[in-house]
Amino acid sequence: MRTLRLMVPLASLALAAAPAATDMALTSVDGFALKGTLTLPSAKGKVPVVILAHQFGSDRTGWAPLAERLAARGIGTLALDLRGHGASTLKDGTETRITGDFMASAKAVGFDKIPADLAQAAAWLRKQPGVDGRRIGLAGSSVGAFSVLLAAPEVKPVAILSLSPAGTSAFGADARERLKGALLRGRASALVLASEGDKDAAENAQAVKDLPGVAVTVKEGSEHGFAYFKERADLMAVFFGEYLTYHHTGKAYAAAPAKPAAPGNVINDATMAEQKKADAPK
């Protein structure tokens, strides 16, 4: 079984030029003015990009710890303010913003339409200069994590990171079955993180753990969404580095160090290992 390790300190991966950030704006099918930021690292050719969908009550800036690590690895990001959040609060010119009530917000804003927003953002992204449309990733947290999994068939990402996929009730009675079907059709490599004490997220993680290409870690405690950055942001960057850079180009890894990597920097899952074996050139 191959174990993925963080081989090189992030400082040594830093690029000479600062990443270039560009504001973007889209209008959803139902009239939401969606805002975001596309950040591309300096590079000679086209770069892979991860679309970022934040958690309820947050905005695009919440992804900063991961976005910085991805930029250091030559991976761009498209960080969105989801409908009703941040700067994405105008629907047909009328202020439509979330409140502290999740379900009331889900109905008023239309959280079940977030996967379609992500697909629209991906279509826009693939038209941008400097972006390698073949190497798109998705990352989501909480309601954003549920949304990126549902969006897989339309976005067609290479890899998906799902942190505490939750908010199931906002997506309809059959949401969990549709979640499994979307992952099967999307055929992406997915890494799902959840905590045992986070009931909805843990149940969703367990529901998809046996699907091909899906690696699931359900840990003790009740950490949720962005709280995973504290100990696992490097692991997340390794995951995308594997599937959006080395995995795509066929470049070999450096030899593993004699000293085992810290647990927080290791992806060691039988499902992922089998997927890597199946993806290897024959």
Q: Which phi and psi angles does 11 have, rounded to 5°?
A: -60, -35
Q: Can you tell me whether residue 18 is helix, strand or coil? A: coil
Instruction: Calculate mean pLDDT across residues 227-255.
Output: 79
- Could you tell me which residues come within 8 angstroms of residue 83 by beta carbon, excluding any fewer than 6 positions away? 28, 32, 34, 91, 96, 109, 110, 111, 113, 114, 117
CATH topology (fold) of 4-279: Rossmann fold (3.40.50)
* The two structure tokens encoding residue 169: 């009730």
Instruction: Calculate mean pLDDT across residues 141-159.
Output: 98
Q: According to the model, what pLDDT value does residue 43 have?
A: 84
Cα–Cα distance, 103 to 112 (Å, whole number)? 11
pLDDT, tens only, 168-180? 999 999 999 999 9
User: Which amino acid makes up residue 67?
Assistant: A
pTM: 0.84
Each domain of the chain, given as residue ranges in start order, spans 4-279
Cα–Cα distance, 36 to 23 (Å, whole number)? 6
pLDDT exceeds cutoff 50 at 166 = yes
Q: According to the model, what pLDDT value does residue 210 have?
A: 96
| Residues 51 and 125 sit within 8 Å (Cβ to Cβ) | yes
CA geometry: angle at 224 spanning 186 and 90, to 5°? 70
Cα–Cα distance, 264 to 101 (Å, whole number)? 34
pLDDT exceeds cutoff 50 at 258 = no
Q: Average pLDDT of the chain?
A: 87
Cα–Cα distance, 163 to 59 (Å, whole number)? 15
pLDDT exceeds cutoff 80 at 11 = no
